[in-house]
Structure 1
Amino acid sequence: MNNSDLKYKNYVQILKEELQPAMGCTEPIAIAYAAAKAREILGYTPEKVIVEVSLNIVKNVKSVIVPNTNRLKGIGAATAAGIIAGKSEKRLEVISQVTEEEKQKIKEYLLTIPIEVKLAETPFIFDIQMSVVYKDSYVKVRIVNYHTNIVLIEKDGEILYQKEATVSIEDGLSDKKLLNVKDIIDFANSVDIKDIEGIIGEQIECNSRIAEEGLKNSHGANIGSVILSTYGSDVKIRAKAKAAAGSDARMDGCELPVIIISGSGNQGMTASIPVIEYAKELKVSKEKLYRALVISDLVTIHQKTGIGRLSAYCGVICAGAGSGAGIAYLYGGSYKEIAHTIVNALAIVSGIVCDGAKASCAAKIATAVDAGILGYNMYKEGQQFKAGDGIVTKGVEATISNVGKLAKEGMKETEKEIVRIMIGN
């Protein structure tokens, strides 16, 4: 693929847009971002707050610890953190700089100021509306489709900012319909490393650091440490354990940033850490690792394009298949090996549900990575799942399309039932 081609430029731009730094689980951070922006426009600390959110936001915020809050959880905690200590210019690192005094003020604010949470009646899967009030003044900030996509800022009846939003389109982002596995491999083989070095280098640095933190200290259910102590330490075990350990730390409120993919830190770690670990084992060049990560990242994004940012389908399954593709590339695999790896992995674990961000995400990551590795090893041994085996159909693109339909359309009612179970209704 020539670097003057429109598709080449599009692929580079997709990586720049999707591989972003974030501190903490991205849904509570998006709430904190909306709250910080609303408070800044209001000009005062609100004395009343109403937060209206879609079902998926409820699910992904309920059980995860909000960083820099002394281990508080939930929509109210994320809102209070954004109001008291948020810096909206830092976007998904909005509450990365919080003093000890501010942490105490966040707790006091939660205890003294009413923060009303409502379920939004909305066609958008991702929808956050933050309304803040001080005396006779109010501000509304609305985010839809993805975590930093502000579509409305309103103050005291005046529209300060507004843009159109479409349910089926992520307005303002590159068109991902150009992605396909064959072209992703072509792009990875031909990309000028200078064009992606900064993005991929930061991904390696940030995500490796939080994985090491997850293994070094006690976080969540310590899935990474359990895997290592139970199953040994060969490369396939380390790949699963380190990816899981990053999630152990992140879901436990660790204040280290990660480089996200498709709006998810867990997906970002699942797509990157196993590939990094295999690259160390195989002693490949830095350039080979970068190209393998490009494949893993873009294969993950490609799968998520048909699913959407949030779903009842666990997103790390896509990233596990992506990391399997990246590992296949490290071993010298071409389109055929990579395509079969993806299909095999999806056949194994598609259907694992997303029941929100929490400690068990780490175990799901380990399972997804294992499926990616097994998917590749199956093909090496001359084995594969074939068209007609469940949702598997002829060709990797058609199988990815089937998974998208399953996740986006087929699991809509599953999503509602998951939330009803989680909130006890």
Structure 2
Amino acid sequence: MKSSDSLYLQYLQILQEELIPAMGCTEPIAIAFGAAKACAVLGEFAQKVDLQVTANLIKNSKSVVVPNTGGLKGIVAATAAGIVAGDADEGLQVLSCVDSSRYNDIQDYLDSGKINVMLLDSEHTFDMIVTVYGVKSKATVQISRYHTNIVLITKDDEILFKQDLSDVSADANHTDRGCLSIQSILDFAQAVEIADIQDLLEQQITYNSQIADEGLKGEWGANIGATLMQVWGEDVKTRAKARASAGSDARMSGCELPVMIVTGSGNQGITVSVPVIEYAKELGVSHDTLLRALVVSNLVAVHLKSGIGWLSAYCGVVSAGAAAAAGIAWLHEADHEVINQTLINSLGSVSGIICDGAKPACASKIAASVEAGILGFHMAKQGRHFKDGEGIVKGDIESTIANVAKLGRDGMRETDKVIIDMMLD
């Protein structure tokens, strides 16, 4: 693959679209972003807010601490923080500039009863409509499909911006993920000019390593990462699982450090990168080799997740754990066939772990998914793999990925409804 090829340029663009900094769990942060953006359009302080959100947004927002709020949790807290102190120009770092002097203001607004949350019935699992009311005016912002994708802006019923939700191609901000395949991802990782990806991946290494460090140092969540280290020691496999889990421990509990997300998720961004970083240290590979391995893990994660959708009952860290294993296999100079079988083994083991919302337990699911990926790699190295027709596994990697996508997107749709009913009961 040459740097002038259209596919090369598409893959670079996908990395740039996917790897973006975010502070806090991305669903409540997206709500804070929408609230802050609506206030910016309104041009005055919001006297009242109507927030319409899909059930999946409720599921992924209700149990996590919103950073820079003094420990507040959930949808209403995220909305209040966005209204009172958010800066929409910062995107998914909308609350990054909020200091402790605003905590009481956020709490007061939350307690005022000015925020009305309603369930939004939408064909899109990710969809929200934020309407804010001033003294004489009102403004509305709708965000759909993914966290910063504004599709509608109105002020006093005048449409200022509108995107046709029925036309996926109208989304000029996202390159078509249909160009991805495991073979071409591996070819791209081998061919890519380091200068083209270095700044982006250096930021991923820095941010995601820092939050992993913090997760191990502090008392965050259920301390899954620290427990793993205390019980099983500090060999590379345990470090890979523990440090990735620790990053999630901190993030789900309101840590104010940013992470580099992938497929719209900080947990998945941590999972695809931190285990690969740990194995690179253990193996003593060159820094360029680490960067190429991260290209593999990030793009494989995007490929695995794109057919499922961003929000589903299928836990996204399963895909991320498998993708991390592909990156680890790359570090070991595995050939294409071993990497393909690594992915099949991993997906054949743990596909079906449910997503029941963002919360401290995500860290344990990361540990399980990374474990499955590493096991899958060692199986593949020894020529052992799951075979065509064994459950959802097919004889080639792309067909297996298609089956997993169908399972997560279609097969688990009713599961998603049942989980949401349980969580809202």
TM-score strictly above 0.5: yes
3-state SS in 2 of match to 1:400: helix
Separation in structure 2 between the aligned mates of residue 73 and residue 121 of structure 1, nearest angstrom: 24
Distance 1:111 1:414 in 2: 34
Write the distance in 2 (CA, Å) between the matches of 1:121 and 1:251: 27
Task: Assess if the C-alpha contact under 8 Å between 1:3 and 1:191 holds in 2.
Answer: yes
Q: Which residue does the alignment assign to 1:221?
A: 222
Q: 1:101 deviation in Å? A: 2.0
CA deviation digits over 1:82-136, x for unaligned, max 9? 0111000100000011122211100000111421111101111110110111233
Alpha-carbon distance in structure 2 between the residues aligned to 1:401 and 1:321: 15
- Counterpart residue number, 1:26: 26
Report the alpha carbon displacement of residue 168 of structure 1 after superposing the two structures with TM. Answer: 5.6
The one-letter amino acid of 1:93's match is Q
Residues 261 and 5 from structure 1, CA distance in 2 versus in 1: closer, same or farther, beyond 3 angstroms?
Answer: same
Q: CA deviation at 1:230?
A: 0.5
Distance 2:19 2:310 in 1: 14
What is the CA deviation profile of residues 261-280 of structure 1, one whole-angstrom value per residue up to 9, with x for unaligned ones?
Answer: 01000000000000000000
Which residue does 2:272 correspond to in 1?
271
Deviation of the 1:169 alpha carbon: 5.9
**Could you say which residue in structure 1 is the equivalent of 2:376?**
375
1:8 matched residue in structure 2: 8
Give the Cα–Cα distance (whole angstroms) in 2 for the partners of residues 76 and 48 of structure 1.
12
User: Does structure 2 retain, via aligned residues, the 8 Å contact 1:261–1:301?
Assistant: yes
Instruction: Output aligned runs, 1:342-353, within 5 Å.
Output: 342-353=343-354
Alignment of 1:161-176 (within 5 A): 161-166=161-166, 171-172=171-172, 173-176=174-177
Q: For residues 169 and 107 of structure 2, what CA distance do their matches in structure 1 show? A: 38
Residue of structure 1 equivalent to 2:258: 257
User: Partner residue of 2:200?
Assistant: 199
Report the counterpart of residue 142 of structure 1 in structure 2: 142
What letter corresponds to residue 108 of structure 2 in structure 1?
A: E
Distance 2:136 2:418 in 1: 39
- Given the superposition, is the C-alpha separation of residues 390 and 307 from structure 1 closer, same or farther in structure 2, using an over 3 Å criterion? same
- Mapped partners of 1:176, 1:380: distance in 2: 29
- Checking the alignment, whether the CA contact within 8 Å between 1:47 and 1:114 is kept in structure 2 is yes
Cα distance in 2 for partners of 1:265, 1:248 equals: 12
Task: Give the distance between the partners of 1:234 and 1:29, measured in 2 at CA.
Answer: 35
- 1:235 is aligned to 236
Q: Which stretch has the larger CA shift, 338-347 or 130-139?
A: 130-139
Measured in 1, the distance between the counterparts of 2:75 and 2:112 equals: 16
SS at match of 1:61: coil
Aligned twin of 1:307: 308
**Matches of 1:105 and 1:96 in 2, distance apart?**
16
Q: What displacement does 1:170 show?
A: 8.0
Using the TM superposition, give the Cα deviation of residue 295 of structure 1 relative to its aligned residue in structure 2, in angstroms. 0.3
Task: For 1:27 and 1:169, locate their aligned partners in 2 and report how far apart those are by CA, in whole Å.
Answer: 24
CA distance in 2, matches of 1:99, 1:208: 24
2:70/2:100 contact within 8 Å kept:
no
Partner of 1:287: 288
Report the Cα distance in structure 2 between the residues aligned to 1:249 and 1:163, rounded to whole angstroms.
36
User: SS in structure 2 opposite 1:242?
Assistant: helix
> How does 1:96-115 map onto structure 2 within 5 Å?
96-115=96-115
Cα distance per residue 1:109-164 (max 9 Å; x no partner) = 01114211111011111101101112331111000011000011111111111111
**How much is the aligned-residue C-alpha RMSD, in angstroms?**
1.0
Which AA in structure 1 matches 2:218? N
State the alpha-carbon separation in 1 of the partners of residues 64 and 318 from structure 2: 20
Residue number in structure 2 paired with 1:130: 130
Shifted more, 157-166 versus 195-204: the winner is 157-166
Mapped partners of 1:358, 1:404: distance in 2: 24
Q: Which residue of 2 aligns with 1:396?
A: 397
- 129-138 vs 64-73, which moves further: 129-138
Which one-letter code corresponds to 1:213 in the other structure?
Answer: E
1:32 maps to amino acid: A
Question: Mapping of 1:16-55 within 5 angstroms?
Answer: 16-55=16-55
| Residue number in structure 1 paired with 2:90 | 90
Deviation at residue 171 of structure 1 after TM alignment? 1.6
CA shift for structure 1 position 167 = 7.3
Deviation at 1:166, TM superposition (A): 3.2
Consecutive unaligned residues of structure 1, counting only runs of 5 or more, are none
**1:406 corresponds to:** 407
Scaled by the length of structure 1, what TM-score is found? 0.98
Q: Is the 8 A contact 2:69 2:100 kept in 1?
A: no
Counterpart-to-counterpart distance in 2, 1:23 and 1:227 = 25
Q: Does the residue aligned with 2:52 lie in a helix, a strand or coil?
A: strand
The one-letter code matched in structure 1 to 2:333 is G
* Aligned position for 2:362: 361
- Per-residue CA deviations over 1:352-408 (Å, capped at 9, x if unaligned) read 000010000000000010011000011122211111110001100000000000000
Deviations 1:32-64 (A, max 9, x none): 000001111112221111110111101000101
Q: In 2, Cα distance between the equivalents of 1:233 and 1:156?
A: 59
Q: Against the structure 1 CA distance between its residues 170 and 413, is the aligned structure 2 distance closer, same or farther, given a 3 Å change threshold?
A: farther
1:47, 1:169 → 2: CA distance?
37
Contact 1:207 1:272 in 2 (8 A): yes
Check 1:224–1:410 CA distance in 2 against 1; reply closer, same or farther (3 A cut).
Answer: same
Contact kept? 1:317, 1:350, Cα under 8 Å: yes
Paired residues in the alignment total 424
Counterpart of 1:112, as a letter, is S
Q: Deviations 1:187-245 (Å, cap 9, x if unpaired)?
A: 00010000000111100010000000000111000000000001111000000000000
User: Which whole-Å CA distance do the structure 1 matches of 2:191 and 2:239 have between them?
Assistant: 30
Q: Which amino acid aligns with 2:273?
A: S
